[in-house]
Chains A and B, each alone.
Chain A
Amino acid sequence: MTTPSDNLTRRRLLMALPLAGAGVAGVAFWKMLDGMEHGSFNPHDINAPVLDRPVPDFTLAPLPPAEGFTTQDLQQVSKPVLVNFFASWCIPCLAEMPTLMTLKDKLTMWGIAYKDKPDNAASFLRHSGNPFSRLGSDHDGRAGIEWGISGVPETFLVGAGGVIRWHTAAPLTEETIGKVLLPLVHRLQTP
């Protein structure tokens, strides 16, 4: 037979267990949200697998007047190259262009016009300024799929030997460049 004090203990336990459970779940959720806010956790991060892997095999059509590039060209780079997917129909890309222009002197940038008519891409670059030293056209989006992009703009940092070191599926901002991208470029260049 249970004594009143047994009953009391059990009641306390029954109260404490759900409370403890809720507490643990609360802390877990708080950490998750905190991570999402500071960029350490992103449940929608699609391109995670490309990091620290060699650049994929892809082919681009030329986009005059700039020189085109191939997988082999990226495999032979000795200094980091920023590969940016853009399109003339993409408003965030248009908004991103001034930021890319400020990077022009600090970092080599190669551009890929994703699912865009070469004429439109060329006129887009005439109007917004062209930060890219090499350009290619991915008219049917196949190269984009090889790189694992889900939209534009998306940006990859390719290190020496053609290894993908960094990726973002969001437009580059001054903040990302100053806090993440340039420090990483600096680390990659100092052995």
Chain B
Amino acid sequence: MTLHRKLAACMLGLCLMAAPALVLAVDDPSEMLADPQQEARAQAIGAQLRCLVCQNESIEDSSAGLARDLRRVVREHVAKGEDNKQVMDWMVSRYGNFIRLKPAFSAGTLLLWAMPVLALLLGVGTAFLFYRRRANAAPPPPLNEEEKARLARLTKD
């Protein structure tokens, strides 16, 4: 085994060891709720909440202190029997819409949500107009004698 291969094997081993850590940042099992159904719901809510420290991770993925605190708050609310919307509203009233990883549907985000449909319609519409025009276009007039002779000359070789 060459040194390179050994190194590669070590790297692979390290990656495999790190893999479970990538799945969930809940690094302390005592954080989790005893009821698996409630825990699953808390995880689903947490996956929709932005960690405000490392802003592109959800609080379920982040190991920042604030994310851990917010995970605990989510679990407290879930254990009290609140539904997902109530927990989400509690968070939004404190941290604003920025905490939602998925923007809420509102007048301000209408264009954002409608954009895929608008872009598709625009594309389909343009393509439709383009093909209809091409189908309707008159065939080019036949070549006259002089042009035919020139074409024959050009394609001779």
Contacts and interface: CB of A to CB of B under 8 A. Distances in A.
10 contacts: A44-B98, A45-B98, A46-B52, A46-B95, A140-B69, A142-B73, A145-B94, A146-B94, A148-B95, A150-B52
Nearest to A50: B94
Contacts of A147: 94
Interface of A: 1, 44-50, 56, 115, 140-142, 144-148, 150-151
B43 to A, nearest CB: 19
A37 to B, nearest CB: 20
What does DSSP make chain A's interface, helix, strand, loop or mixed? loop
B98 A145 contact: no
Contacts of B98: 44-46
Interface of B: 52-53, 55, 65-66, 69-70, 73, 92-96, 98-99, 138
What does DSSP make chain B's interface, helix, strand, loop or mixed? helix
A49 B138 contact: no
Given A44-B55, A145-B73, A150-B52, A49 B94 contact: yes
Contacts of B66: 141, 150-151
Most buried by B among A44, A47, A49, A142: A49
Contacts, number: 44
A148 B94 contact: yes
B69 A47 contact: no
Most buried by B among A144, A147, A148, A151: A148
B99 A46 contact: yes
B96 A150 contact: no
A70 B96 CA distance: 24
Nearest to A56: B94
A7 to B, nearest CB: 12
B138 A1 contact: yes
B95 A49 contact: yes
A150 B65 contact: no
Nearest to A169: B52
Contacts of B53: 150-151
A45 B96 CA distance: 9
A75 to B, nearest CB: 18
Contacts of A151: 52-53, 66
A141 B69 contact: yes
A1 B141 CA distance: 12
Given A140-B69, A141-B65, A48 B55 contact: no
A150 B69 contact: no
